Amino acid sequence: MLLKASFIIGFIIVLSGFAGGNVMLLAAIAGVLFLVGLTVWQNTAVFVPEMHTGVVYKHGGQEYARFLTPGDHFIKPFSEKLGALIPVDPGSVNGRCDSIQTIGGLPLSIDWTISYNLNPFRIAPDSRPKLARNLPSKSGKIVQKHANNILRHIISEYSIEALTQPGMQRKLERQVRQQVAERLAAAGFEISRVMIGAIDMPPQVTDALADALKRQLQAENEARALSRLQSVVSQFSENDMQRLIELERIHMLGQNGVTLMYAPPSDIQLNGMKRPLN
């Protein structure tokens, strides 16, 4: 529009110049040239801000042409335009994956955070037209979609018991980071960090795990007590064992209501000495 207006204004000035003299004509020509040059400059010189990648489209539509690095650039006048900017500074996206199925079919919900950078120049040429339209405003949604799909696949290979083991959270973070990085590398994503947050389970599953842990701790305590008892008993002599067996027999008889009568011995041995009974 500006170019058309400049030609119209210039044409009018040229006509008035013929009517008024050569000075007016020269001024009109200079004005037209200035407007034409300004229009060409505005359609040729573009600036891409720092921490951004520019997307150049061909005029007449949204057909991708190429990417531009930060700084000043010249594009083809009247046939190209700077259509969008892709942020390439460090970013992160949070998500929550619901209804994840474990090996036993129990549902889970997992919170996660992924930090990343974008490098559009790493995108394969045949993928650039599509991603050039999506990355300026949908990079977070792209990460979220792939992260949820990967989490569902990974969790499906574990049982509830395995997911509650110590160190499992860090293991999941490594697995998710590796798979997300591999899947999104072709889209220009560089994954720097993955954090797995809370793993929420149904209340009945949480209660069952708490009961199982309680029984496990009780069994471990009993096993330790039995081990200590065996260690002490192993130090007894054969006579000590016979006395223990006799005491246990007497104890059992007493519990069953049997009254035991003992005749006093003819003498009592004390400290290796014998004394007569009164």
Per residue in 138-178, pLDDT tens? 999 999 999 999 999 999 999 888 888 889 999 999 999 99
Lowest-pLDDT range of 2-6, 125-129, 184-188: 2-6
Q: What's the pLDDT band for 12 if we cut at 50, 70, 90?
A: low
Lowest-pLDDT range of 1-5, 70-74, 169-173: 1-5
Q: What is the mean pLDDT of the chain?
A: 77
CATH superfamily label, 91-206: Band 7 domain (3.30.479.30)
Given a cut of 50, is residue 41 above it in pLDDT? no
Q: Give the model's pLDDT for residue 4.
A: 47
Lowest-pLDDT range of 34-43, 97-106, 197-206: 34-43
Reported as a single tens digit per residue, the pLDDT across 248-265 is: 777 677 666 655 555 555
With a pLDDT cut of 90, the percent of the chain lying above it is: 41
Whether the model clears a pTM of 0.75, i.e. scores above it, the answer is no
Beta carbons of 56 and 121 less than 8 angstroms apart = no
